[in-house]
Amino acid sequence: MYRAATLAVLRAGVDPGGAAAVPVAVGAVIEVVTDPADSTVLLSGEDVSGEIRGEPVTSAVSAVSAHRQVRERLVAQQRRIIASVLAGGRDGIVVEGRDIGTVVTPDAPLKVYLTASAEVRANRRGSQDRRAGRSGDAASTLLAVRRRDELDSGRATSPARPARDAVRLDTTELDVPGVLAALRTLAAERGLLGPATGPAGETDAGEAAAAGPAGEAAGGPGEAAAAGPAGEAAVAGAAGETTAGETVVAGAAGETATGEAAAAPDRDPGR
């Protein structure tokens, strides 16, 4: 979501870090699909799922997301998404973002702080970019990952940090199945797993989440939380290749939402 707001600012031709960016970002009409198999992000009705992963947005998203008014507006929208999913009869929802467990849904029954070394996250981001047909070199990607970590952890409003009660999961040495297995174990220990909706990875949830929730997570540390019983599909969607970011299971099986822009790791926790 923050990436979509950033794209709106860039299209308006204003300075992402300046005051003029605030009304543009706050007024942006952003929609995210909460189905982990479809991480579509819409800006004024246009599918911008691919464009928000490009270098221009990646370089400017920290500046836009640092504006207090922008965060307040998108946090409110994220909370509405969660409430809507739970009110719709779903059992739970997996939400990813850099301030999900600390600000958006601090009462979630499970918060996992997904992280990995900057080098590994940069490699994962590079792989995602190549699969999506985006160009970029390893050195620049690593620099971008480190720069965003520094900017997001040092901002005045909702700095990126693990929630006090979050479980820290270092995924540096784990592959996607390993991350999913660890998350399922954590969710099961808290009684949050419902009947499996399908074999883990079958829906390519990690990839879909990456394009949405995951993509951002892979690009930087963040939190994920669960706010209600969640099916395995939901957990798979939140984990994926993201392996770095805050994930929250807040309620509906198979549903995902992200503060970044897609349904919650890069998928880079873009906040």
Distance CA 217, CA 219 (A): 5
SS3 (DSSP) at 161: coil
- Is residue 81 very low, low, confident or very high in pLDDT (cuts 50, 70, 90)? very high
More confident residue, 21 or 101: 21
| Tens-place pLDDT, residues 250-269 | 433 334 443 332 233 334 33
Check pLDDT > 60 for residue 29: yes
- 157 neighbors 191 (Cβ within 8 angstroms): no
How many other CB atoms are found less than 10 A from the CB of residue 217? 43
- 243 neighbors 217 (Cβ within 8 angstroms): yes
Q: What is the pLDDT of residue 257?
A: 44
Q: What is the CATH number of the domain that holds 123?
A: 3.40.50.300
More confident residue, 91 or 233: 91
| Tens-place pLDDT, residues 175-223 | 999 999 999 999 999 988 865 544 333 333 332 222 233 333 344 565 5
- Nearest to 40, CA basis, from 241, 31, 82: 31
Q: Which residues pair with 256 in a beta bridge?
A: 94
Vertex 67: Cα angle to 77 and 98 (nearest 5): 60
- 270 neighbors 142 (Cβ within 8 angstroms): no
Domain with 187 in it: 2-267
**pTM: predicted TM-score of the whole model, two decimal places:** 0.69
User: How many domains is the chain built from?
Assistant: 1
Candidate from 16-20, 66-70, 81-85, 264-268 with smallest mean pLDDT: 264-268
Region 34-49: mean pLDDT is: 91
